[in-house]
Amino acid sequence: MNTPVPAISIKGLTKDFAVTLRGVKLRAVDDLSLTVEEGHVFGLLGPNGSGKSTTIKVILGLLGATAGDVRVFGVPSHEVESRRNVGYLPEAPYFYRYLSGYELVRFYARVCGVPRKQLQARVKDVVDWVGLSKAADRRVGTYSKGMLQRIGLAQALVHDPKLIVLDEPTAGVDPVGTAEMCELILKLKQQGKTVLITSHLLAQIEDVCDRVAILDHGKLIVEGSLQELVGQRDRQALIVDSLPPADIEALRGWLVSRGHALNAIEQPRARLDQLFLSKVSRGGHAGASGGVGSNVVPKSSAPNTSAPVAASPKPKA
Ligand SMILES: Nc1ncnc2c1ncn2[C@@H]1O[C@H](COP(=O)(O)OP(=O)(O)OP(=O)(O)O)[C@@H](O)[C@H]1O
Ligand SMILES: [Mg+2]
């Protein structure tokens, strides 16, 4: 039986940067080996400067490796062909601010070779899909941070790639926008796409990723599924209604009599982001309406600064 080709295969990747004119080198990635299987959402974690973005840039062929072998769907990452099926949302995207959202995505669709006949429909579909259709005629320069990330995701998806690489897709985005980005990532997974994501928001990574790798100083520290890494198979939590102390003692006695231990009694708390999401409306600002929700000023109620001021009394000379 043929083993499936992984979406990304990294073997012994090392990347050095020359950081002074005297040739002093900084090792940004140090002998990294990783495999991302097709159809997985894979989280690349690590502190600032640990080599996440450098690894991504080598995968995308934007940087050459000092040593090692990096392949995308089996094709070496320095070959142009390896990028045909890849969409990329950079860490700090720089978009031409005078284009509208539609124009921007249309531009990238043409760069990525979307056939002319499909172009219009594809741009519209992908802008709708990221929830920006109501704001897509606005200039990108007027977008909020969350809207910029959405239009960035739209440009990354416009050519229907099999692998989507998202470098900090929720940096600076509020919890509502972050939750919506997570929903979009899970929808991509349902469509069979592979997603490589970096983020500092560990709760967000936990919600969407099948596997994670943690880098530190360019080295792989740990890699595995979330269940392998943080699951506690030898423990269970039972959530019950609040019990009086006597019942807790009786329960403890019963558990001990059966050879078990009551390890902790805690008052469960909802996560702060769950509270935030339950209290804040979606779609009013950076949300699904794409920033043209309830706070759009209707033309008729906007102050008319060009109206004559005939009613004002003339200042006396
Ligand atoms: N073009 C470059 N020239 C020199 N050094 C670089 C270059 N790009 C990155 N580095 C260095 O390589 C190391 C890894 O940087 P990288 O951007 O990959 O980290 P990161 O994990 O993405 O960090 P962050 O979480 O801040 O985005 C850092 O020490 C950085 O200063
Ligand atoms: Mg980075």
Which residues have a beta carbon within 5 Å of ligand 2, which is an ion?
Answer: 52-53, 91
Residues with CB under 6 A from ligand 1: 17, 19, 26, 28, 46, 48-54, 91
Distance from Cα 53 to the centre of ligand 2, integer Å = 4
Q: Please state the separation of Cα 55 from the chain's center in Å.
A: 16
pLDDT on residue 311 = 39
pLDDT on residue 24 = 87
Cα distance between residue 82 and residue 131, in whole Å: 29
For the chain, the C-alpha Rg in angstroms (whole number) is 26
Residue numbers of the chain with a pLDDT score lower than 70: 1, 281-317
What are the phi and psi torsion angles at 36 (to 5°)?
Answer: -115, 115
pLDDT on residue 230 = 79
Cα distance between residue 75 and residue 82, in whole Å: 5
Residue 270 · residue 203 · CB < 8 Å? no
Pocket of ligand 1, candidates 15, 44, 52, 66: which has the most ligand atoms within 8 Å of its Cβ, to mutate? 52
Helix 175-190, helix 145-157: angle, nearest 10: 10
pLDDT on residue 157 = 96
Residue 99 · residue 139 · CB < 8 Å? yes
* Atom 26 in ligand 1: residue holding the nearest Cα: 48
Cα distance between residue 263 and residue 124, in whole Å: 55
pLDDT on residue 142 = 95
pLDDT on residue 295 = 53
pLDDT on residue 204 = 77
Ligand 1 atom closest to residue 46's alpha carbon, by position in its atom list: 21
Residue 46 · residue 52 · CB < 8 Å? yes
